[in-house]
A = this chain, B = another copy of it.
Amino acid sequence: MIDEPHIVIRPDPFTVAEIELMVADPANGAICSFSGLVRDHSHDRPVIALEYDAYIPMAEQIMREIAMDIGHEFSINRLAMVHRIGTMQIGELVVVVSAGAAHRAAAFQAAQAGIDRLKKTAPIWKKEHFADGSEWVGATREG
């Protein structure tokens, strides 16, 4: 990888175009960007909003390690991973993983590995808000 990865967890909204600027490079022939969005349902149940919490310094550190690993595994020039926290409405961007490379296969593989590994290990949590209540995903209903 040419440069340090761009890794941020932040409460304010962002756009894909903004994140792709962070992976711009004259040697890029390909950029693959994954966007995770708030969708209107979860397991067939209508969703009103999502709320995200993160252990920011730990999650950013883990995302940085994931990005460095990916930079060694795939022939990419640059990588950005940006995750939003707070409450978001349907259609809003939650996360963008963007990889710039000379060739497209590496860009696709890096972006996919980035989002897969972020979801598996970064200490970030999602609360689903429904019409009749809310729930932290994966935690048994408590209290």
Contact = CB atoms under 8 A, between A and B. Distances in A.
A26 interface: yes
Interface stretch (A2-10, A12-20, A65-73, A80-88): A12-20
Give chain A's interface residue range (CB within 8 Å of chain B): 20 to 34
Q: Which secondary structure characterizes the binding site on chain A?
A: mixed
A35 B99 CA distance: 10
A104 B27 contact: no
Interface in A1-56: 15-17, 20, 24, 26-41
A112 to B, nearest CB: 5
A91 interface: yes
Contacts of A31: 16, 34-35, 37
